[in-house]
Amino acid sequence: MFPKGFEWVVILIVALLIFGPKNLPKLGASLGKTVKNIREGMSTDDVESEEEPESEEDKEIRELEAKLAEAKEAKAKKDEGPIDED
């Protein structure tokens, strides 16, 4: 699928004929910068997608879960209260 050995030589010769010997280094440099920018952009998108902002519903759910946990702890402490053995 990808060019191998002799195919690269043909591609380079055709590029040399189309762009000329003076413009070929400039073309290679700009191609390298473009590939670098694309890779950086792809890695930045991955990081941003992992750090999605929390929605209002998620915040409310988290607060309600915390309140429920506190209520359960309070009830457990109340149930454990002092035992009178008379």
Q: For 57, what's the count of Cα atoms within 13 Å in the CB-facing half-sphere?
A: 0
pLDDT digits (tens, 9 = 90+) for 39-78: 988 887 655 555 666 788 888 888 889 999 988 888 888 8
**11: which residues sit within 8 A by CB, 6+ positions away?**
3
Amino acid at 9: V
pTM score, two decimals? 0.40
pLDDT digits (tens, 9 = 90+) for 6-27: 898 898 889 889 888 888 888 8
Q: Report the alpha-carbon distance of residue 82 to residue 86 in Å, rounded.
A: 12
- Ranges of each domain in the chain: 6-79
At which residue do the structure tokens 């010997």 appear? Answer: 21
Q: Report the alpha-carbon distance of residue 19 to residue 26 in Å, rounded.
A: 10
